[in-house]
């Protein structure tokens, strides 16, 4: 089945034999060139089993005008969240809203305040690194042209930059190999509509410029990862390009391993892991309470925060990614505090969906009323990162009722549902099986920002490529690692 796109049938209609050939070529390219994920049964690093990542057979269409808009906004979002991370008073007020309702986020902030007290408000390392990803859905109405709406902005462990580059390369290979056929719709697939995605090298550049700013050529970048990480190959591409483009060696360790083998020199404040000098700590773990298995792992995070190493992210930057922060930034007066330029502020705000708190404020009362009268128009989101945590539509009232203690409601935000177009089709291959159906795509734009948290000077700020994740329209969640979505690339229309 296909749909009509720009007057053409898309995706191109293929025979059964052509689809089989395309599937084999895609799978083999993925396994040959690292577009893979560790197999579910291979939950330990010593197990070598891996499979191709869930992937669309064709790139999915995305309006070029809106794609360019999202990319052009990324440096402004980078700067906004750098400023938010530097405003300890503002974030402390946010924490008060979460006290008693989200212990994990509260504990992160308590750790930050403990570090501030030890350093007397002067960080050991002034430089902070953010590798962010701002996620968008297309929003359609019956009366207006499609627009983009921001789903969230990730400030820690923004994933799939490595595999996103490979997905674009894979689709471009299939197009150049004429495996998309020559029938109706194939004319849409060409070099200028299927851009090369620089995300893997772009994120590696962010780590590289931070390493250079640290100023110790022999020092390493420490990747803090989850044990048995299924998505290790996505992370590996950043390591490879960091070595290739900057000559910088990376070492991987879990928080448990950092607790055992990491230490900070009390005089120089240098952080060392297994006696290797660490210039940059890059967190691909630590965003969920499950990562902190013992008090020693919390102590390890604290020690790294106190050290001279550049953190990506710091505790403050990690906390800035809370959904509560996203909710309060919808307020024009609060946003203006961080973005005084009217034009820039207007461009950012144009992507915001309506987001409400679930507290005792007037907005909170409005949210409660909306949950009673039209829950089908909203999604309930907790503060934490990771897939599979949202509550949708008519399930919201029952979910909140089951919480029993209404004070726990404050740990969530109520966000209007973004209404993506439902007339796009694609095929998705997962575990060797191909399924066809209507799909929804979410665009993520990566950004890198290096700044001085004491002078608030931006040292480096650039957009670093993109991610397109696609799921079938009847799936509410979209996380690839969580088992809901697939990696994709853009077809600009």
Q: Would you please indicate which residues are annotated as catalytic (active-site) residues? A: 133, 152, 154, 159, 323, 381, 385-386, 469
3-state secondary structure of 182: coil
Determine contact, residues 448/202, Cβ cutoff 8 Å: yes
**Left, alpha or beta for 185 (phi > 0: left; psi -120 to 50: alpha)?**
left
Question: Pick from 477, 462, 479, 469: which is nearest to 207 by CA?
Answer: 462
Report d(CA 95, CA 109) in Å as an integer: 7
* Strand 276-283 relative to strand 220-224, pairing: parallel
3-state secondary structure of 331: coil
Eight-state DSSP code of residue 285: S
Cα 74 vs. chain centroid, distance in angstroms? Answer: 13
Determine contact, residues 453/314, Cβ cutoff 8 Å: yes
The dihedral through the CA atoms of 98, 101, 102, 103 has a sign that is positive
Question: Pick from 289, 377, 353, 306: which is nearest to 152 by CA?
Answer: 353
Q: Residue 466's beta-bridge partner residues?
A: 445
The dihedral through the CA atoms of 61, 65, 71, 76 has a sign that is negative
Q: Residue 458's beta-bridge partner residues?
A: 451
Q: What is the dihedral of CA 58, 60, 65, 68, to 10 degrees?
A: -80
Question: Pick from 151, 470, 138: which is nearest to 321 by CA?
Answer: 151
Q: Residue 378's beta-bridge partner residues?
A: 416
Report d(CA 163, CA 233) in Å as an integer: 8
């Amino acid at each position: 089945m296909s749909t009509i796109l720009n007057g053409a049938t898309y995706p191109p209609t293929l025979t059964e034999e052509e689809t089989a050939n395309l599937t084999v070529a895609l799978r083999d390219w993925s396994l040959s060139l690292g577009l893979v994920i560790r197999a579910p049964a291979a939950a330990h690093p010593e197990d070598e089993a891996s499979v191709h990542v869930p992937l669309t057979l064709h790139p999915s269409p995305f309006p070029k005008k809106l794609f360019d808009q999202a990319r052009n906004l990324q440096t402004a979002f980078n700067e906004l969240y750098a400023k938010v991370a530097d405003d300890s008073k503002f974030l402390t007020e946010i924490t008060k809203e979460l006290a008693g309702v989200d212990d994990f986020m509260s504990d992160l902030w308590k750790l930050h305040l403990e570090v501030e007290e030890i350093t007397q408000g002067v960080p050991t390392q002034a430089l902070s690194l953010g590798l962010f990803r701002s996620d968008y859905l297309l929003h359609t109405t019956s009366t207006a042209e499609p627009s983009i709406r921001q789903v969230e902005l990730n400030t820690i462990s923004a994933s799939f930059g490595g595999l996103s580059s490979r997905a674009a390369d894979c689709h471009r290979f299939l197009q150049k190999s004429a495996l998309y056929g020559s029938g109706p719709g194939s004319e849409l697939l060409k070099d200028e509509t299927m851009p090369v995605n620089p995300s893997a090298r772009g994120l590696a550049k962010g780590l590289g410029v931070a390493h250079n700013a640290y100023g110790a050529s022999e020092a390493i970048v420490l990747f803090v990862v989850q044990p048995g990480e299924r998505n290790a190959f996505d992370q590996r591409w950043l390591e490879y390009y960091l070595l290739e483009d900057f000559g910088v060696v990376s070492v991987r360790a879990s928080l448990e391993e950092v607790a055992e083998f990491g230490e900070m020199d009390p005089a120089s404040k240098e952080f060392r892991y297994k006696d290797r000098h660490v210039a940059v700590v890059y967190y691909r773990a630590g965003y969920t309470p499950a990562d902190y298995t013992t008090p020693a792992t919390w102590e390890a995070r604290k020690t790294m925060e106190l050290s001279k190493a550049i953190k990506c992210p710091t505790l403050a930057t990690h906390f800035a990614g809370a959904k509560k922060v996203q909710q309060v930034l919808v307020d024009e007066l609060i946003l203006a505090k961080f973005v005084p330029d009217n034009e820039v502020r207007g461009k950012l705000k144009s992507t915001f969906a309506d987001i409400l708190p679930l507290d005792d404020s007037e907005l909170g009362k409005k949210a409660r009323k909306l949950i009673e009268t039209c829950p089908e128009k909203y999604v309930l989101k907790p503060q934490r990162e990771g897939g599979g945590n949202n509550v949708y539509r008519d399930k919201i009232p029952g979910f909140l009722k089951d919480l029993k203690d209404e004070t726990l409601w404050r740990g969530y935000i109520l966000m209007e549902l973004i209404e993506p177009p439902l007339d796009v089709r694609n095929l998705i291959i997962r575990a060797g099986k191909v399924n066809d159906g209507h799909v929804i795509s979410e665009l993520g734009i990566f950004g890198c920002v290096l700044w001085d948290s004491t002078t608030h000077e931006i040292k480096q700020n650039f957009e670093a490529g993109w991610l397109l994740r696609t799921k079938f329209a009847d799936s509410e969640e979209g996380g690839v690692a969580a088992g809901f979505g697939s990696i994709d690339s853009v077809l600009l229309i």
